[in-house]
Chains A and B, each alone.
Chain A
Amino acid sequence: MVYGGDAKLLPNAIVVAVPDDGRLPPPGKSVEIVDQIDKEFVPYVKAIRAGSYVRFPNKDNIAHHVYSFSPAKTFELPLYKGTPAQPVLFDKPGVIKLGCNIHDWMVGYLYVTETPYFGKSGRDGHVDLDDLPAGRYHVRIWHPRMEGTEDATVQRVELREDEPALVEWTLKLHPEYRPLRTPLPGEPGYR
C-alpha cells in the first residue's frame, strides 16, 4: 500500500522487488506503449524492464515532438503523427522524463528497472506483485513527486510459499509545476 501526503492513497507509484540473491530471469524483448491522447502522455507513469522497447503512438490529429534529456535515455522523435516506424530501446535502468516540444505542459515518466518484479499503484494506492518466487527480497518505491531517494525507501521482505506479505510506504511529496494549458486573455494563441 502506498500513501502520500495527509495519508491519502497514492496512485502512479512504482514498486520494485529485487531478490537478495540477485538472480533474475533473463530479459525478454517486449514492446510497450505510451500513447499521446488529448495532448497528454497516457499513461502518465509507466514501468518497464531494461531491454524493452517502447512505441509512442500519437492518437491526436496533430503533430507531437517527443523528447527526453534524461541520462538513462536521451532521444527525440521529431514532429510526427500516427506511430513512428521504429520503437525506442530503453536498455539502462533509470527514470526517463518525457516531454513534447510543441506542448510544453505534456509530461510523462518511464521508469526502467533491472528486475521483472514491479508494479504500479492504482487509485486505491495498491500494488500487487503476483508470481514472486519464495525468497528474500528488498523492495523499494519510486514516485515522480517523492522527496528523497529510492534507496531511502528500501524495505526487506521474506516471502514464503502461499503467504502474502504486505508492505506499506508513506511518501512525502513535492508539487509538480507545469506550464498551464489555458492562455491568459489576450495572449498569443499558442496551445
Chain B
Amino acid sequence: MTGPSSPTTVSYALMWCLCCGLTLLSPRVNAEWGFDATGGFSYDDNLSNSFEADDRKGDTAAVLDVSGGWYEQLTPSTAVSVNVLAHSDTFFHYSGLSNVGVGARAQLRTKLGLGPAVPWLAVAAQGVYHNYHYDYLDGWQYAAGATLGTQLGERWSIRGTIRYDAYVADHSQPPLVPTMVGSPYDVYGWNFGAQAAFLVTTADRVSLSYTWRTGTVTSVTHPDEEIFEYSDRVAVDPVFGAGEFAYRIDANTQTIGIAWSHTLGPHTALNLVYAYRRSQAEYDLGQYYANVLSVNFIYAY
C-alpha cells in the first residue's frame, strides 16, 4: 500500500504514552498497578460498511488489547485510574486494515454510597493513535463519555452510557473533486447506550446491550455518482480492491449485542460476543447492516 507515512505522529504518540508511564511510576499512597490483556478473534461480515451486496466485504481479525496503569482510591467512594493502551488488529484477508494502536485512557469513578448495590458513575476519556497498513487510514481515535450503573439484587446489573467518539485521519488524499477536501475517514458521533447483565450461574454472566449512534460514518462502494451528490468527502479506497471508493455520510446506527462471559479463575475469563449493527444513511441512501462475532480470552491482574 502506498501513501505518506507519519513517523513523527507515531513518535509523538509513543512519547506521550511514555510520559504517562513515567508519571505512573511515582509512588502513590493508595495506588494499585493494574494490567489487563485480551486476545482473540473477531469476524465482521461488512467491514466496508456497504449497503450494496456486491460491496459488502467480510473478514476475520486476530485482536489483541493490552492495558496497564495505576488505579488510586482517592476517597472511600471515588477512584481515578490512568492506563496506557496498546491494540492490534491483524486481518487475514484485507491487510490494509491491519493496524497497531497506542494510547492512553483516564477514568474517574465514584460510588454513590456504601455497599455493592449502590449506583456508580464513571467519566472517562481516551486517545489512541492507530498506524494502519494502509497509510491513509492512520490517525487518532478519541472518545469521552459517562456511564451510570448499578447492581440490582444479587444477579442483575444495568448501566447507561453517553459517549462522544471521533476519528481524525493524519492525511487526506488529493481531492477527487476540488470542493471536497478532507479525509472520508474523519468521523465523529454521539453514542447513547444501555446494557443489562445477568448472572446465570456463579461463574457465567450474560449481557444484552443496545447503542444508538448519530453522526458520520465511512462507507465503501463501487463507482456511484450518487455518493458525490450526498457525501462531503470521497476518496479512492484500495483496501477492499481496485475501483472502490470511500465516502463519508451522516447516518444513525443501532447496535444490539449479546455477550456471554465465563469465569475461568479469579483473574481470567472467556468471552463470546455477537453484535448486529444497522445504519440508516440520510437522504434515504440505504441501510447497511453487519454481523460481528468475537471470541476472546481476558486476563485481569
B partners with A: yes
Q: Which residues of A contact B (CB under 8 A)?
A: 38, 40, 61-63, 65, 67, 69, 76, 78-79, 81, 99, 101-102, 104, 175-185, 188-191
Q: Contact: A188 with B147, CB < 8 Å?
A: yes
Binds A, one of B54-62, B242-250, B263-271: B263-271
Q: Mark B196-211, 1 if CB is under 8 A from A, else 0.
A: 0101011101010000
- Distance between A93 CB and nearest chain B CB, rounded to angstroms: 23
Question: Which of A61, A63, A79, A185 has the most B CB atoms < 10 Å from its CB?
Answer: A185
Expressed in whole angstroms, the Cα–Cα distance for A79 and B205 within the complex equals: 29
Interface majority SS (helix, strand, loop, mixed), chain B: strand
Q: Given A79-B75, A190-B79, A190-B81 in contact, is the A179-B151 Cβ separation under 8 Å?
A: yes
Q: Contact: B76 with A79, CB < 8 Å?
A: yes
Expressed in whole angstroms, the Cα–Cα distance for A104 and B67 within the complex equals: 22
Minimum-distance CB pairs A-B, first 10: A62-B32, A182-B269, A177-B154, A104-B116, A63-B30, A78-B76, A79-B76, A188-B122, A63-B73, A177-B199
- Distance between A43 CB and nearest chain B CB, rounded to angstroms: 16
Q: Contact: A180 with B115, CB < 8 Å?
A: no
Expressed in whole angstroms, the Cα–Cα distance for A145 and B30 within the complex equals: 34
Determine if B234 is an interface residue (Cβ-Cβ < 8 Å): no
B81: A residues at CB distance < 8 A: 189-190
Determine if B300 is an interface residue (Cβ-Cβ < 8 Å): yes
Determine if B109 is an interface residue (Cβ-Cβ < 8 Å): yes
Q: Given A79-B73, A188-B122, A188-B124 in contact, is the A181-B300 Cβ separation under 8 Å?
A: yes
Q: Given A177-B202, A181-B267, A183-B298 in contact, is the A102-B79 Cβ separation under 8 Å?
A: yes
Q: Contact: B202 with A189, CB < 8 Å?
A: no
Q: Please report the number of residue pairs spanning A and B whose Cβ atoms sit closer than 8 angstroms.
A: 101
Expressed in whole angstroms, the Cα–Cα distance for A69 and B117 within the complex equals: 12
Expressed in whole angstroms, the Cα–Cα distance for A63 and B30 within the complex equals: 6
Q: Contact: A179 with B116, CB < 8 Å?
A: yes
Q: Contact: B65 with A99, CB < 8 Å?
A: no
Q: Contact: A62 with B31, CB < 8 Å?
A: yes
Q: Mark B268-301, 1 if CB is under 8 A from A, else 0.
A: 1101010000000000000000000010101010
Q: Which residues of B contact A (CB under 8 A)?
A: 29-32, 34, 36, 38, 65, 67, 71, 73, 75-77, 79, 81, 83, 105, 107, 109, 111, 114-116, 122, 124, 147, 151, 154-155, 157, 197, 199, 201-203, 205, 207, 259, 261, 263, 266-269, 271, 273, 294, 296, 298, 300
B31: A residues at CB distance < 8 A: 62
B263: A residues at CB distance < 8 A: 180-182
B36: A residues at CB distance < 8 A: 183, 189
Known: A185-B298, A189-B105; 9 extra A-B contacts, CB below 8 A, are A62-B30, A63-B30, A177-B199, A183-B298, A184-B197, A184-B271, A185-B38, A188-B107, A188-B122
- Chain B residue nearest to A40 (CB atoms) is B266
A181: B residues at CB distance < 8 A: 263, 266-267, 300
22 residue pairs of the A-B complex, CB under 8 angstroms, read: A62-B30, A62-B32, A65-B76, A67-B114, A78-B76, A81-B30, A102-B79, A177-B202, A180-B269, A181-B263, A181-B267, A182-B261, A182-B268, A182-B269, A184-B205, A184-B271, A185-B65, A188-B107, A188-B109, A190-B71, A190-B79, A191-B34
Q: Contact: B115 with A69, CB < 8 Å?
A: yes
Q: Contact: A61 with B32, CB < 8 Å?
A: yes
Expressed in whole angstroms, the Cα–Cα distance for A62 and B27 within the complex equals: 12
Q: Contact: B155 with A101, CB < 8 Å?
A: no
Q: Contact: A185 with B73, CB < 8 Å?
A: no
B197: A residues at CB distance < 8 A: 184
Expressed in whole angstroms, the Cα–Cα distance for A130 and B97 within the complex equals: 70
Expressed in whole angstroms, the Cα–Cα distance for A89 and B151 within the complex equals: 31
